[in-house]
Structure 1
Amino acid sequence: MAGKPKLYYFNGRGRMETIRWLLAAAGIEFEEQFLETRKDLLKLQQDGALLFQQVPMVEIDGMKMVQTRAVLNYISGKHNLYGKDLKERALIDMYVEATMDLNEMIMLHPIQLPETKAKHFATIIEKATTRYIPVYEKALKDHGQDFLVGNRFSRADVQLLETILMAEECKPDILSKFPVLQGFKAKISNIPTIKKFLQPGSQRKPPLDEKLVPKVKSIFYTDNE
């Protein structure tokens, strides 16, 4: 029997967080090996563990997988979270790519320079409420089903919920004009595996504390050694 997946990253969200979400949603327990210093990253690189010399890296099913989207695709396919056919997968991919765009904007906010922070925040809110969130509201309203694609639970639902919760951390009332998504959020949050992941003490990570930004940069950037 294969062991638990093992995740290699710093002790924070970043590009690993969506992988944590997807494993948790699939009911898969996982272990984590946190990078605390640049030496930890260099050791992985020197050991040949990182195909492209970068993390996130996930040891799973005898593989050392890198590239976030490749890892997410594998987990989704393995655990039946990727639609029933190619057309559903294409639609899931479109939804997911958009949530990842918004997710990344929010994720990068704590590392913005002070002089660009306010403008960056305003851009997040503007794009969330005019470009991204309305699309999901309309999709759910138009087909009247519980899930985004094919009326079955998929990675699109998991990643949308993750991004909604991140957007609410920026603006708590961001869904105030989107009643269908409010219902979606409540419904998906109560799926047992996700409800467990949302409880205190889970492996879900909090927003990046700005005080930790120098430490994170010191792991990934040589200028900060």
Structure 2
Amino acid sequence: MVIIPSQDAFGNSEPGVVDAKPKLYYFHGRGKMESIRWLLAAAAGVEFEEEFLETREQYEKLRKDGRLLFEQVPLVEIDGLPLTQTRAILSYLAAKHNLYGKDLKERVRIDMYTDGTQDLMMMIAHAAFKPPQEKEENYAFIVKRAKTRYFPVFEKILKDHGEAFLVGNQLSWADLQLLEAILMVEELSAPVLSDFPLLQAFKTRISNIPTIKKFLQPGSQRKPPPDDHYVEVVRNVLKF
């Protein structure tokens, strides 16, 4: 254990707090937390703990304790801070681990690219909560949209940029989230990258970065696609 200064909600130092692993509060599944797991484990190689929400009572305790700023999860406790709102958490982690570009121009490109891939991934996440027939129709639409709207954009970015990564010449949050999105769409349609050779090479290249390769192996904290049990738990906890 190492004693480090912690910070309050305003960034003020509070000495004497024991350093600890980040702790993640979410359901035992992907959802909005999965990209956070990717940033911590796959990009930064950071170990973290998880508390899985399985009952309404767990959620209510977090809410009543004032730990959910807008009464929403995910919640991440890190560096003495209780962080909520997915985009804020991801931005913090990307900046903390040098995955957010070297200047404002690189950062805004990373923001554009991650916003795009997040839109695509949330389409997949939301489809899991549809009735069976509607779910399959949604998945077919998502694969088509990936092939006609999202992947052509990133194929062109890689061609025009001419580097191994999407922004600058080093790994960024944008690369990580694009790989995550590609793998999610491939679960719906394995040959989805057949018309995108640069994305195929990108997928292979980024997947072989040691920390990412480790995260993609069985037994990691990466979560599987949502199943009926996951959907039921989320509905019961959040009451929708």
TM interval, shorter chain, is over 0.9
1:15-26 paired onto structure 2 within 5 Å: 15-24=32-41, 25-26=43-44
Q: CA RMSD in A?
A: 1.1
Select the residue among 192, 198, 203 that pairs with 1:174.
192
TM-score (norm 1): 0.96
TM-score, length of structure 2 as denominator length: 0.90
Q: Per the alignment, in what secondary structure is the counterpart of residue 124 of structure 2?
A: helix
1:15-53 CA deviation, whole Å, 9 max, x = no partner? 000000000111111110111111110010011111111
Residue type at the aligned position of 2:118: M
Within a 5 Å distance, the mapping from 1:40-189 to structure 2 comes to: 40-189=58-207
Runs (4+) off by over 3 Å: none
- CA distance in 2: counterparts of 1:118 and 1:31, whole angstroms: 34
AA aligned opposite 2:187:
E
The 1-side partners of 2:122 and 2:98 are apart by 25
In structure 2, distance between residues paired with 1:14 and 1:118: 18
Q: Larger helix proportion, structure 1 or 2?
A: 1
| Runs (5+) with no aligned partner, structure 2 | 3-18
Which letter maps to 1:15?
A: K
The code of the aligned residue for 1:21 comes to W
Instruction: Write 1 or 2 for the structure with the bigger share of strand.
Output: 2
The alpha-carbon deviation at position 113 of structure 1 amounts to 2.3
Q: 2:51 is paired with a residue of what secondary structure? A: strand
Q: What residue ranges of structure 1 are gaps of 5+ in the alignment?
A: none
The structural deviation recorded for 1:154 is: 0.2
Secondary structure of 1:21's aligned partner: helix
Please give the secondary structure, in 2, of the residue aligned with 1:111.
coil
1:118–1:199 CA distance, 2 compared to 1 (3 A): closer
One-letter amino acid matched to 1:17: E
Select the residue among 1, 24, 39 that pairs with 1:7.
24
Identity %: 62
Looking at structure 2, the residues matched to 189 and 31 of structure 1 have their Cα atoms a distance apart, in angstroms, of 23
How far apart, in 1, do the equivalents of 2:137 and 2:185 lie? 16
